Amino acid sequence: MKSIFRELAKKHASKIEAGSSELEALDMGIEFESAAIKYYEDHLKRAEKPLECKFVEHLVEEEREHRKILENLKYYYTDPEGWLMEKGRAGLDGA
């Protein structure tokens, strides 16, 4: 796992600055979460014991939830009105 994060950090080193935009940060976070999901899914294929499988499945679900949160934030930043209509439970009935 450390090697995956080192590789991604090296890839994005020139992009990471104090002035990085929210979208750039979210894109990097989504990429990191996707890499973690792949890592754990690959590990799950090699898992042999039921408890190990259950634990790794839980890790995969956690990483998917993290990615979903970041994708949701990106959607909000890029299309706040669309996000509000879809996720914010806004209605058009005036209520």
Q: Using one digit for the tens of pLDDT, what is the confidence trace for 42-81? A: 999 999 999 999 999 999 999 999 999 999 999 998 898 8
User: What is the percent of the chain where pLDDT is above 90?
Assistant: 52
Contact partners, residue 75, CB within 8 Å, separation at least 6: 82, 83, 87
pLDDT computed for residue 22 by the predictor? 86
Q: What are phi and psi of 74, to 5 degrees?
A: -60, -45
**pLDDT: which is higher, 95 or 75:** 75
Whether 84 maps to a domain, the answer reads no
pLDDT computed for residue 18 by the predictor? 46
Whether 10 maps to a domain, the answer reads no
Whether 41 maps to a domain, the answer reads yes
At 55 the three-state DSSP class reads: helix
- Which residue segment(s) compose the domain that 41 sits in? 22-78
Whether 37 maps to a domain, the answer reads yes
Contact partners, residue 66, CB within 8 Å, separation at least 6: 29, 33, 36
Whether 12 maps to a domain, the answer reads no
Number of domains comprising the chain: 1
